[in-house]
Amino acid sequence: MNATPVSADFSPQQWRAKRLSQISILVATALIAGSISHVMSGNWQVVGWLFIGMVSMLLCHMLNHHGNTGVAKSLLIWSMTIVASGLMWVNQGLRSTDILFFPVILIVAGMLVRVRQFVALITVMAIYVVFITLATQLYGMRPHQEISHSFDVMSDVLLVLIVGGYGVWILVNDLQSVLARLTEQVGLLGQAQEDVVRVSMHDSLTGLPNRTFGRELVERALVEAQRRKLKVALMFVDLDHFKTINDSLGHTAGDDFLKQVSTRLQAGVRKSDIIMRHGGDEFVVALIDVADVKDVSKVAQGILSSMNAPFNLSGVEVASSCSVGVSIYPDDALDFETLMRQVDMAVFQAKEAGRNTVIFYDKEMQDSLQTNLMLVASIRVALVRREFVLHYQPVIDLPTGKLVGAEALIRWQHPERGLLAPFFFINAAEKSGLIVEMGEWVLREACRQVSYWIKKGCEPFTISVNLSPVQFKRGNVEEMLESALLESELPASCLELEITESTLVQDVEKFMQSLQRIKAMGIKLSIDDFGTGYSNLSYLQRFEVDKLKIDRSFVMQIMKGPQERALVAAIIQMAKSLNLTTNAEGIEEDDVRKELLALGCDLGQGYYFARPLAPEKFEQLIFQSSNQPS
């Protein structure tokens, strides 16, 4: 940011010194010019006085130049007065044009000296006028001059000196007062502009350079590093869970937290390094003159350690952490924009890796990001083109072998790659937020399809639909469910929502209220992949779930040994004690089915019974199961 603050160019003292220098040179020049004609006419008395004046002016200029302004002012005023008096003495006295020096001297004195010295000067001039009049008229001290003075002339000169001097002082004093006020205003304006410039270039909360000024500083450092063949390390510091601090302790505590973070960051790097506040809870650190990348790692780890130390916020100790992404100039990129993109990718990977860690950028991140961006774009297009389809996997009652339900599973009928399983696209859909639109389509399509089969004569069965945590965070799940059931005319008792254990621990109170309203609608709740997450029994009781789905990782290991069997048995017994139905996923062998049945598992699904089927094939299966023609 190229802004030059306005400031006062000079103080009153500096102004007087500048004028003194100009006046001394001007007077010296005038005296030199005036002496030429007198030298030619041989009037050496006048030349002598003029020479004294010239020497005095030069000496005055030298003193002023060396900072002795006070002495130089006095020398100029009094030497000019003495020279003017001398010239009047050797010339025509009060009738000489040399008397005009006195008003000029008074004007100069009004600009340069204070009131006491000014009054003294007028007094001396008045005394001299009286003296030269008396010396000429009464005492004959100027025998070579005509006695042409009169007391009337003296009184006129004295009157002009006093009145003129007073007028000069008033005028000059007013001008100096105006100048002083103007100087003060200019100074205030300059300070105000400096403050504006500082505020526009620094973060108002932490005092650190803001994003704009910080970028300018880093770009300068890159230019210098290129010249000196050194490295610059750019670190993106993202505070973990800052929103939680703001929401729980308030914005004042959040601001105090950011200030403390700023202080710790500054303590962790050199004064020559650059720290800027990039955003709300984001900081960028530039380590300049880096000789060894190992030093960067040490600094980054030091930042992690400093952020792990407790923060005292209004008497409350708060634990925190941060995620750090690092990119190196010139190893990774040669310009600021590219380095910033790289550290952004690196800090994202750090968060994905569990936060509170340091990740250095590598090229694979760029390739992965580009692939993910292309995938997200393809998913958007697929939603518009209706390329997604639902397949249905039967859920079997283990004791009777009867089909009692199904799970709706999404597939992508890709125009080039064929039928794709969720593994290829669900993760990208969740991170991009497209899972909300996708999940709503799955819900509406599953309800529509099952309602169609029931109306066609199939016995009612339960259709299970997976809900993403992202859908719950949007806050419109209940309205979406009501709308889907109303449009499809599917009984609420035929719909089961599968939620993961991780969903249960997010904003528990709000989530519990939402689930209670969903339960009141008659919709069943199932915990998907039970045993792989938090497995908190208190959540199972509070949320009044209906079913536990035993994860396939446990089911497929059940025949490996007694410990694996005991783990599945414990889950089934716990579910029975809580009056919950159990559903085992991933049954692929008859021995596994029999073992689960022996342990008391209620339901099962997997390739042993059937793979996920397209709607037309699943329709044949359900009508065969109910002994009705397809």
How far apart (Å, rounded) are the C-alpha atoms in residues 132 and 154?
9
Distance CA 153, CA 558 (A): 133
Q: Could you give the C-alpha distances from 62 to 58, 108, 111, 291, 392, in angstroms and in order? A: 6, 18, 20, 53, 102
The C-alpha angle with vertex 467 and arms to 465 and 470, in degrees rounded to 5, equals 165
374-625, CATH topology level:
TIM Barrel (3.20.20)
Residue with more model confidence, 321 or 502: 321
> Measured in whole angstroms, how far is the alpha carbon of residue 276 from the centre of its chain?
7
Report pLDDT for 530: 73
Torsion of CA 606, 610, 615, 616, to 10 degrees: 180
User: Which 3 state secondary structure label does DSSP give 476?
Assistant: coil
Q: What residue type is assigned to position 422 of the chain?
A: P
Question: pLDDT by residue (tens digit) across 373-427?
Answer: 888 899 999 999 999 999 999 999 999 999 999 999 999 999 988 999 998 899 8
Judge whether residue 182 has pLDDT over 60: yes
DSSP strand E in 274-315: where? Answer: 274-277, 282-290, 311-313
Please say if the pLDDT value at position 540 is more than 80: no
Backbone angles phi, psi at 329, to 5 degrees: -95, 135
Which of 137-151, 152-166, 306-320 is modeled with the greatest confidence? 306-320
Average pLDDT, the chain: 84
pLDDT classification of 629: cutoffs 50, 70, 90: very low
pLDDT in tens, 204-224: 888 899 888 899 999 999 999
pLDDT, residue 348, reads 86
- Strand 547-550 versus strand 524-530 pairing type: parallel
Q: Where in the chain is the domain with CATH 3.20.20.450?
A: 374-625
Q: Is the pLDDT of residue 286 over 90?
A: yes
pLDDT of residue 506 exceeding 70, the answer is: no
Whether 339 and 236 have beta carbons less than 8 Å apart is answered as: no
* pLDDT number for residue 93: 74
Instruction: Please tell me which residue, 343 or 196, carries the higher pLDDT value.
Output: 343
Q: How do beta strands 402-414 and 462-466 pair?
A: parallel
For 414, phi then psi, to 5°, come to -70, 135
The arithmetic mean of pLDDT across residues 512-530, rounded, is 86
Mean pLDDT of 535-557: 78
Q: Rounded to an integer, what is the distance from CA 96 to the centroid of its chain?
A: 77
Rounded to whole angstroms, the Cα distance separating 289 from 221 reads 9
524 - beta bridge partners?
496
Which residues have a Cβ under 8 Å from the Cβ of 80 and sit 6 or more positions away? 27, 53, 56, 101, 105, 108
Q: What local confidence, expressed as pLDDT, does residue 264 receive?
A: 92
DSSP state of 603: E
The better pLDDT of the pair 166, 254 is held by: 254
pLDDT band at 12 (very low <50, low <70, confident <90, very high): low
- The closest of 123, 12, 46, 36 to 78, measured between CA atoms, is 123
DSSP 269: S
pLDDT band of 598, cuts 50, 70, 90: very high
Confidence bin at 628 (pLDDT 50/70/90): very low
Most confident of 99-108, 142-151, 550-559, 603-612: 603-612
pLDDT at 66 > cutoff 90: no
- Asked if residue 579 lies in contact with residue 560, where contact means CB atoms within 8 angstroms, the answer is no
> What 3-state DSSP class applies to 399?
coil
Amino acid at 428: A
pLDDT-wise least confident of 166-180, 362-376, 477-491 = 166-180
Q: Is the peptide bond before 562 cis (omega within 30 degrees of 0)?
A: no
Domain 211-361 falls in which CATH fold? Alpha-Beta Plaits (3.30.70)
Three-state SS string over 478-524 comes to HHHHHHHHHHHCCCHHHEEEEEEHHHHCCCHHHHHHHHHHHHHCCCE
